[in-house]
Structures are given as structure tokens and as C-alpha cells.
Structure 1
Amino acid sequence: MTGLPPHLRETVDAYDAIAVRYAELTRDALGPFPLDRAVLAAFAELAGGAGAGPVAELGCGPGHMTAHLRDLGLDAFGVDLSPVMISLARRAHPRLRFEVGAIDALDLADGALGGVLSWYSIIHAPPSEVPAYLAEFRRVLAPGRPLLLGFFEAEGGPVTAFDHKVTTAYRWPVDALAALAGAAGFDEVGRMLREPGENERFRRGHLLMLAR
């Protein structure tokens, strides 16, 4: 893949290099965390129903979360910029659709989706670029349809870079990220903050929103 900005090229190369190990480590990522499963179930309830469009996991990695959405009854597919991750996702979940693509420039029509899951997929984006990601999520969502953001929460501090195990990532204050989403055209439904579990360093944040 050519023509990527340096930070995206670095992120793709880093995830391609550790994709197999990453897929193994995250296979049961939801198992110990009932609150994570609960917020995903709430998202699925908002995204389902008669006439709902397909749901995209944007930044799907090896596809485990896309498969979880399928198990919750959604017509789900995944998009990720890492070709190796997409190859692993297709191999692990051959009945689901996975596409290589940039999640800030999606090959989708306006309002095409009935839901967007961004589960720790914008954590590596420089803070100045996050509004563009949120704007793209809003563009592809039909009005009234849900977006769920998962991210590392800054625990009262400012937006903060940290040494993520793959490549540099950012922790966000939940209020600041909610404000950016509001400016992009979303109304907050609710938020969930979870304290770090075993082998986790930081509090986890989750924002559930509806497109205006």
C-alpha cells in the first residue's frame, strides 16, 4: 500500500509484523470483562431491528469483535488498513466479509450503515486527526444509528501519548472525546468507564452515541 502518511505507514507495518501473535492474545479479549460485553450488547440493540443497515467494525484487526457482533445478531463486516490482519480475519471467520481500507476514507455511500463500532481503532491517530475520523463515521451512518467508541481513558488528565505495545497511542479524557463527537454530529446516549483489569495499565473508556 503506497501513499500513506508516515504515521499510518508506521502503524500498518507494526500491526502487520505482530498480527499472528496479536490475534492469539486477543481471541478471548471479552471473556474477563462483563461490562465490555454489556456495552456491546447495548450497541447491538440500538443497531438492530427492522430496516437496519449493515454494521461495520472499523479497525477490525483479526476480526474477533466483528464475529462477536455477528453473534449478537447483526449483519456485520470489518475494515482494517492492515492486509495481514484482514487475511487472518478472513481465515478465522470465512463467512464474514472483511476489507482492506482506510477508516477515515471509506468506500461507502453516505448513510449506508446501521451502526459503526470503533473498538480502540482511533487510538493511534494523532489528536489533530481524530475529528476527521469522527466526521467520516458520521458520514457513513444513517441518522439515528449508533456509534460505539472504545479507547484508553486519560483519567482526568489531558490527551496523552503513551508507549502502546505496538506503536504510539493516545489516552483521551472522556469529556473531550465526547465533545469532538458532538461537534461531528453525534448525540451521546451513555458512557462506561472501566478500571484496568489484570495485565492492563489504563482505565478503559466507552462512548455510545447516535448520529443526528
Structure 2
Amino acid sequence: MTRTPAPPSRPRTAPLVYACLALTALTALTGCSGSSPSQAASSKPAAAGVRAPATTGAPGTTGSTAAKKRARPPVHLSIPSLGVSSDIMRLGLNADRTVEVPPADKGMTTGWYTGGSVPGEPGAAVLIGHNDTRYGRAVFHDLKKITKGADIVVRDDRGAEIHFEVTGRETASKKAFPTARVYGRTDRRALRLITCDGAFDAAGHPVDNLIVYATRK
């Protein structure tokens, strides 16, 4: 994995991550698509983009290093009400400090942003998934149907299941992404699910992100 530059001394505004199948040095595969912006006009529209904290030092995203070492990493996600059952891969930061996302050919796999908290531990744990890719429907295609109170289950690498209850959801413009609400400091054992949403722009990218908020039961 490409090394990322040292975190800045103060958090800055989070960059927007765009979906591209053909990666470049400054663009990360993300959101919900397998098409690059240059291909969007001639192929399936690219559903793209989640914002990420600009640095692993962003408020509330890293949690306690000691707590992370004690916690067990997540390996599986299920949302019974939506029929979602997905392996979880690890995601870090790219060289331009945008967050990684699952490759388009792993559209049915969710990704855990390791710069955030471990699911079930204090702080905000973030899972990112595609809505669609050029291969078809993806893991979070029906996430917009989730309801308040729905059960979300994360299993760790030792088989322990952690249950979360959905407390709300929102659709946010990528131009005004609620970085503080998603990645900000919290004493709760919180979980955020993020995918793309909304209408497509001229380049074939969805203009919004869908964010689901949940807390540990």
C-alpha cells in the first residue's frame, strides 16, 4: 500500500473520494461504481464517493491505541431486515489522504475504515460499501430501505457478534458532507454505514451520500 504523508498538525476539511475503476495516483476507487469519470458518458453511470477524514488524527476517529489493540477486528456484517450478509475488508488511506474503498469487483464486500474505531468500541466505527458497480447491484444497494430500530450485526474474528440498533439516517450532499457527525468524537459505541445516493451529475457521479447511524445495543 502506498505510504500516506504525515497527518497535518490540525484537521482540515475532508477530501471527496471519487469512484474510478482505473486508479491514478490521486484518485481512489470508492462509493459505488466500476466506471472511471472518463468512461461515465459511455458506460453505466458511476455511483460514487464518500468523504473521509483528511487525517487519521481527525477528532474522534482514531480512538485509544490501547483499546484498538485489545479489540478484535470485524470480519462480517449482516443486516437481517435487508438480507445483507457481507465479509468485511480493511480500508486505510491513499497517498492523497482519501480513504480506500472495496474494489469494484468486490461490490458485495464492505470495508472497515481502520482509522476509525473498532466496531463495538467507544467512538465512531465506519463501514463503507458500494451501491452499484459496473458488475451490477452491490452490498448497500438497498441501504436506503433501512428503518430506525433495525438490527445490524458485526462479527469479529473470534466469532463474537456485536449488535447495533439504527438510530437514524440521512442523505447529504457531497458538497456539504457532515464530517463532524460521521467521524467526530463521541463517547458512544457508534457505527456508521456509508454509500452513495441521489441523482447523477454530468460526469455520471451521484451527488449525495447516504449515511446510516447506529449505536451498540
> If the length of structure 2 is used for normalisation, what is the TM-score?
0.33
- Which structure's relative contact order is higher, taking Cα pairs within 8 Å and 6+ residues apart? 2
In proportion to residue count, which structure has more strand? 2
> If the length of structure 1 is used for normalisation, what is the TM-score?
0.33
In proportion to residue count, which structure has more helix? 1
